[in-house]
Amino acid sequence: MQAGDGQTQRLPIWSFAAERFSSADRILSTILARQAERYGERTLFVFGDTRWSYAETAAIAAASAGRLMQAGIRAGDRVALMSANRPEFLEIYLGCAWMGAITVPINTALRGIQLSHILRNSTPKLLVIETALLPALETVEKDVAPPTLIWTMEALPPCGGAVPTAAVSPGDTVAILYTSGTTGPSKGVCCPQAQLFWWGVYSARALGIVEGDVLFTTLPLFHTNALNAFYQAMLNGCTYVLEPKFSASGFWAAARRHHATVGYLLGAMAVILLSQPQSGDDREHGMRVALGGGVPGQFHAPFLERFGVPLVDGYASTETNFVFASRIPSDHPGTMGYLAEGAEARIVDPNDAVLPDGQAGELLLRSTEPFAFATGYFGMPEKTVEAWQNLWFHSGDRVVRDGDGNYRFVDRMKDSIRRRGENVSSWEVEQVLLKHPAIAACAIYPLPSELGEDEVAAAILLESGLTLEPVEVVRHCEGQLAYFAVPRFVRFVTEMPLTENGKIKKVSLRDAGKTEDTWDREAAGYKIRRS
């Protein structure tokens, strides 16, 4: 059935996107150029007073590619971006994708060991950074060579002449997105051009997006969610509205101002909105659905009742795609939903043997579409082989499949923590703590948050004869870690619980919970620095 067929026109565009874009066409330049021809002056992108039509966005991408090429950037070169949400971020990303360079988005909160690792691992030829974030570079370790070129977002060189689309393949890496490590540093996920195409298809399918929708996000562009929402809009003839950041008090006013029809909320965001004072205009908006991945099940019904918006459960990872989604509204609130078309899943034991329904094990995934998943970890071949053992991606998540085909997340098999939408590597936090001369050993583990996610807890064993105040532990981490990775809870122990192999038994610390001797910086009124 062709795109011009009357029956096809009545279908959601995502449902025949694979027909309109053959496997070789699933690259940014072809998608954007073809959609610009189709939609012309229709608005594609909105940020504050900035508005780009489909035609203008294609022209901006081609001109941005020209600027990069004039500066000596070539296909395959890495271009690091360290910036909050702003049009220039998207401009640089589009230019890179258009001509075959690779964007490396960097979380603006990263400092010290975390920022050093990304720059060391990705070796960007160009770093584009907000002026206000330049002091972050002073925290980078001495052995990290700076990029050859550094541009500030506020003073970008003028765009060059528009360049034609490059010879880019759907399997070529378009972005390297860093995701939290577990027993080591963060891993750079190599996301191919076609993976972002499929993100646009699968996410639109899960949310029931139709042509003309206004997609409204406050999430950061340096993460997968906000970036793939742009592809959702571009592929489906929608408008993509990007806000600078999430504001609990301003969220619904902004949604009304932009006539938003689809929203994006993760984890604690929905809970925070529910905690705001009730208002007579809580339902005075046009939003008909919102992504609600990670929102605890008990908050779905109150959110729907108060705001009139059903939350879509789902499961996705940077390495995979939007592979599980609930019905709208969810029939099992707070779960992962059902396996999506285009993906295969297994629940397995430690030997990768398949487990029956109702029995929890590790979730394994693979795609039935070419390049719909990531292709590996940049510069970490051993980690790639480990994660894709037996040609299935090993998620590190313990999951159970119910008899009706609904999947439920149980816990993490990996030593990682999820806080306010950010993954925290316990290993990275521990490396910083162990630099303190008074700390002999430490363990970072999760404790439950009031908002339904994790909080970072630290168990610390001091060197003999030395003392340390809990607040000094926090101060030691500030400036060396992202603010969201700084421990909230600190507990001093006289000995660490150990396994038979002599490793710290973190499960014992987690199971003990918040003990009487656990210090809580929030209860103590200590506010960490975010600079």
Contact of 35 with 52, CB cutoff 8 Å: no
* pLDDT tens track for 395-426: 988 899 999 999 998 777 766 677 776 778 77
Can you give the pTM of this predicted structure? 0.84
**Dihedral angle over CA of 179, 180, 185, 190, nearest 10:** -10
* pLDDT tens track for 210-227: 999 999 999 999 999 999
Backbone angles phi, psi at 510, to 5 degrees: -65, -45
Q: What distance separates the 2 farthest-apart alpha carbons in the chain?
A: 80
* pLDDT tens track for 469-500: 999 999 999 988 888 989 999 999 988 887 65
For residue 501, the model assigns a pLDDT of 55
Rounded Cα gap, residues 265 and 331, in angstroms: 19
For residue 502, the model assigns a pLDDT of 59
Q: Helix crossing, 28-39 with 54-70: angle to 10°?
A: 150
* pLDDT tens track for 357-371: 999 899 999 999 999
Name all domains of the chain by residue range, CATH numbers in brackets: 13-245 (3.40.50.12780), 250-367+386-414 (3.40.50.12780), 419-520 (3.30.300.30)
- pLDDT > 80? residue 427: no
For residue 333, the model assigns a pLDDT of 93
For the chain, give percent helix, strand, coil, nearest 5: 30, 25, 45
- In the structure, what pLDDT confidence band is assigned to residue 6 with cuts at 50, 70 and 90? very low
Mean pLDDT for 319-344 is: 94
Rounded Cα gap, residues 274 and 272, in angstroms: 5
For residue 7, the model assigns a pLDDT of 41
Mean pLDDT for 171-188 is: 87
Rounded Cα gap, residues 293 and 270, in angstroms: 10
Contact of 327 with 314, CB cutoff 8 Å: no
For residue 2, the model assigns a pLDDT of 42
Rounded Cα gap, residues 377 and 387, in angstroms: 9
Beta strands in 198-261 (DSSP E): 214-217, 239-242
Rounded Cα gap, residues 236 and 262, in angstroms: 13
Mean pLDDT for 172-191 is: 88
Mean pLDDT for 301-322 is: 95
> Sign of torsion, CA 227 146 115 378?
positive
Question: Which residues, including other chains, have CB under 8 Å from residue 436's CB and lie 6 or more apart?
Answer: 468, 473, 476
Q: 């990768």: which residue's tokens?
A: 352
- In the structure, what pLDDT confidence band is assigned to residue 1 with cuts at 50, 70 and 90? very low
Count of beta carbons in the 10 Å neighbourhood of residue 469:
11
For residue 146, the model assigns a pLDDT of 86
Count of beta carbons in the 10 Å neighbourhood of residue 15:
14
- pLDDT > 50? residue 195: yes
For residue 500, the model assigns a pLDDT of 55
For residue 480, the model assigns a pLDDT of 87
* pLDDT tens track for 92-135: 999 999 999 999 999 998 999 899 999 999 999 999 999 999 99
Contact of 325 with 340, CB cutoff 8 Å: yes
Backbone angles phi, psi at 463, to 5 degrees: -65, 145
